[in-house]
Amino acid sequence: MKVINTELSDCYIIEPKVFGDSRGFFFESFQLERFKKSGIDFDFVQDNRSRSSKGVIRGLHFQKNKPQGKLVSVTRGEVLDVAVDLRENSPTFGKSLAVILNDVNNRQLWIPPGFAHGFSVLSEFADFHYKCTEYYDPQDEGGIIWNDEHLNIDWKVDSPLISDKDKLLPSFKEIFDNI
Ligand SMILES: Cc1cn([C@H]2C[C@H](O)[C@@H](COP(=O)(O)OP(=O)(O)O[C@H]3O[C@H](C)C(=O)[C@H](O)[C@H]3O)O2)c(=O)[nH]c1=O
């Protein structure tokens, strides 16, 4: 497995070792010792799966007091995956990263606790899988509006499909100017 640094501190792209043959392919999508040795030394307590159609944007979400680290990947289709560093003491605070994840490159993205996360769907549909380091707590949910001016993310989709809940999310400045 190859671990690639990104422009966001502690956020890594992971390229698993893929074994291809005439039947298809095989790769280990998670192996605790190998991840620990790569510096991703967390206990994962919850796996999530979602399916989204083309043009959907899910996010940007985070948990406020019980932040989740996420190891994200796409098992079918293609997404633009976005992470935003919300750690105020980080050298990359307020910076965002966008990475193409799909079922051809089999890339994973490690997003540490303290980041907001979201993705847009570029293929007809996308099956999304991620491991989390903290349990989901609906009372602890936070988020940033997808078209936030400060972050200015290019989601690469026209007329995105956003949940009613996500349409009401605050801006980056509403969150951090109040702190
Ligand atoms: C996240 C989550 C949701 N749910 C239930 C709550 C709702 O009834 C339903 C859909 O939830 P939501 O609309 O929040 O799902 P997403 O918009 O995909 O949320 C996720 O979107 C971005 C991409 C993330 O990184 C987060 O993991 C997560 O916030 O699943 C659960 O039961 N457990 C969970 O862990």
Position 178 scores a pLDDT of 57
Which residues have a catalytic role annotated? Answer: 61, 130
Please give the Cα distance from 18 to 12 (Å, whole number): 18
Q: Which of 53, 81, 61 shows the shortest CA–CA distance to 156?
A: 81
Average pLDDT along the chain: 97
What is the signed CA dihedral for 44, 25, 4, 50, rounded to 10 degrees? -50
ipTM, two decimals, is 0.98
93-131: pLDDT as tens digits: 999 999 999 999 999 999 999 999 999 999 999 999 999
Cα separation, 4 vs 13, whole angstroms: 5
Q: Ligand 1 center to residue 40 CA distance, Å?
A: 23
Residue indicated by tokens 């932040």: 67
pLDDT band at 177 (very low <50, low <70, confident <90, very high): confident
pTM above 0.90, yes or no: yes
Ligand 1 atom at minimum distance from 52 CA: 18
Q: How far apart are CA 134 and CA 75, in angstroms?
A: 22
Is the minimum distance from the CB of 31 to ligand 1 under 6 angstroms?
A: no
Burial of 112 (0-12, 13-18, 19+ CB in 10 A): buried
Q: How far apart are CA 159 and CA 130, in angstroms?
A: 26
Instruction: Say yes or no to pLDDT of 47 above 60.
Output: yes
* Average of per-residue pLDDT across 138-149: 98
User: Cβ distance 84 to 145 under 8 Å?
Assistant: no
pLDDT of residue 31 exceeding 80, the answer is yes
